[in-house]
Amino acid sequence: MKPPKASIAPASIVSEIWPGQSIELLKELHILTRDAKLNQDTRRKLKQVYHLFRFIEKLLLEISDRDGGVTLADHGAGKSYLGFIIYDLFFKGRSKGRIYGVEARAELVQKSVELAERLGFDRMSFLNSSVAAALQSGELPEQIDIVTALHACDTVTDDVIAFGLAKKAKYMVLVPCCQAELAGLLRRNKAVSLSRTTLAELWAHPLHKREFGSHVTNVLRCLYLEASGYDVSVTELVGWEHSMKNELIIARHTGHIKRKAATRLSALLQEFGLEQLLDTRYRLAQSI
């Protein structure tokens, strides 16, 4: 299907939209209104999307010249804001590469399929699936270059990491969200070895338990990635005034397994009374 004829954005917002950006796409994503205007909320959303794209673009450029082009899988895609923006700004101007959007809600997948067809984004595919089930899908290639997950809730981020490891991803770009599992385990297990020390004050109150659990969850994830052959960097996605779910984890595969990371991961889990996770989520780290 041929893409729609391009429209021109009003001069007042041209400076805020990147060159080559599809105005039709921004309207469909409700970043622009039907008369191509930005309000304060959508202006902030556009800046956030562009900011994340800058991180991902650097990774895309590093591997874009290989045969067959880059493959990218976006998990918990929702309305596929991220996938569409990446395609529009990077893949659209190239003849190779494909984006796969993975989303468990069928109605959102169908809308994304229809939008890609209207815009002529013919190298976008959408899979109605959980992250775990996607690993068994014949619709995805055996190897994926870049795996992304923007605000994947609770343990879904861990599923995405498992997906990236199985697909031998060169890069993983993760913005975790709503990490509730560890707070619940801390509440039930009481971290016996630390419960009689002053460190227990770090999770004495429900709010602190939630925030501390969220922080420890991401620390464990980074150690696990390092123990699995990745270099890891952690930074802010956007300013804290925009979102409290703001931690951006970028993992680059090197093949260099850091045994010290595996040892520290195991020690942390034991200290917090979370050894059960060594038999499930972090099995690779245990075997190193």
Q: Is residue 29 part of a domain?
A: no
Its domain, for residue 215, covers 52-287
- Which residues, other chains included, contact 148 with Cβ-Cβ below 8 Å and sequence gap of 6+? 56, 72, 73, 74, 75, 82, 172, 173, 174
pLDDT in the model for residue 283: 72
Provide the pLDDT confidence category of residue 184 given band limits of 50, 70 and 90.
Answer: confident
Domain count across the chain = 1
CB 243, CB 198: distance < 8 Å = no
Q: Is residue 168 part of a domain?
A: yes
CB 80, CB 112: distance < 8 Å = yes
| Calculated CA dihedral for residues 8, 98, 156, 152, nearest 10 degrees | -10
Q: Is residue 38 part of a domain?
A: no
Q: What is the pTM of this model?
A: 0.86
Rounded to whole angstroms, the Cα distance separating 266 from 224 reads 10
Domain CATH for 137: 3.40.50.150
Provide the pLDDT confidence category of residue 203 given band limits of 50, 70 and 90.
Answer: confident
pLDDT digits (tens, 9 = 90+) for 29-82: 888 888 878 877 778 778 878 888 999 999 999 997 666 689 999 999 999 989
Rounded to whole angstroms, the Cα distance separating 56 from 65 reads 15
β-strand pairing of 146-153 with 124-128: unpaired
Provide the pLDDT confidence category of residue 287 given band limits of 50, 70 and 90.
Answer: very low
Asked whether the predicted pLDDT for residue 10 surpasses 50, the reply is: no
Rounded to whole angstroms, the Cα distance separating 187 from 184 reads 5
Q: Is residue 42 part of a domain?
A: no
Instruction: Name the most confidently modeled range: 13-17, 115-119, 233-237.
Output: 115-119
Q: Is residue 74 part of a domain?
A: yes
Q: Is residue 92 part of a domain?
A: yes
Q: Is residue 119 part of a domain?
A: yes
Rounded to whole angstroms, the Cα distance separating 191 from 193 reads 6
β-strand pairing of 98-103 with 71-75: parallel
pLDDT digits (tens, 9 = 90+) for 108-139: 999 999 999 999 999 999 999 999 999 999 99
Q: Is residue 8 part of a domain?
A: no
Provide the pLDDT confidence category of residue 14 given band limits of 50, 70 and 90.
Answer: very low
Rounded to whole angstroms, the Cα distance separating 61 from 57 reads 6
- Which residues, other chains included, contact 275 with Cβ-Cβ below 8 Å and sequence gap of 6+? 269
